[in-house]
Amino acid sequence: MTHHSTVVTELVGALPVARNFKFGNTPRGHVADVVKVNGAAPVLGYKVRLYRAADGILVAQTWSAPATGTYTFGDLELDQTYVPVALDHTGTHKPVAAGPLTPEADA
C-alpha cells in the first residue's frame, strides 16, 4: 500500500509582487510622474503601485515624495506600458489610476 500526502501553502498577509524582467538584454527604462490632490501637490506622501498594462501584474510599489508628490519607478521594460495607481493610506481619497505610461530609456 502506498501513502500519498498533499501540501497546501496559503500565503497570508503578504502582497505578491512580480519580478519585472525578461531573460536576455532587454532594454530598460523608468517612468516618473506626480501625485496631485485637487490639482495641488499633497502634503503627505501617497503609496503608488505600478501595474503592467498588458496583464495587470503588480510590478512595483513606492511612496510619493511628501510636499512634491513626485515618484519614480526604474528597471522597467521599454516595450511595455504601465499604469500607476495612487492610494491614500489615510482613507480620505479614493484610489486614482493614471497612464498608461511608457518608460523612457535609461542613459
Question: What pLDDT is stored for residue 65 in this prediction?
Answer: 94
Could you tell me the residue ranges of all domains in the chain? 28-105
Check if the beta carbon of residue 29 is closer than 8 Å to that of residue 106: yes
Question: Per-residue confidence at 39, pLDDT binned at 50, 70, 90?
Answer: confident
Check if the beta carbon of residue 84 is closer than 8 Å to that of residue 48: yes
Question: What pLDDT is stored for residue 37 in this prediction?
Answer: 85
Name the burial class of residue 4, with classes exposed (0-12), middle (13-18) and buried (19+) by CB atoms within 10 angstroms of its CB.
exposed
CATH code at 28-105: 2.60.40.10
- Hey, what's the cell of 21? 524582467
Question: Per-residue confidence at 27, pLDDT binned at 50, 70, 90?
Answer: confident
pLDDT digits (tens, 9 = 90+) for 74-96: 999 999 999 999 999 888 889 99
Q: Is the pLDDT of residue 3 over 80?
A: no
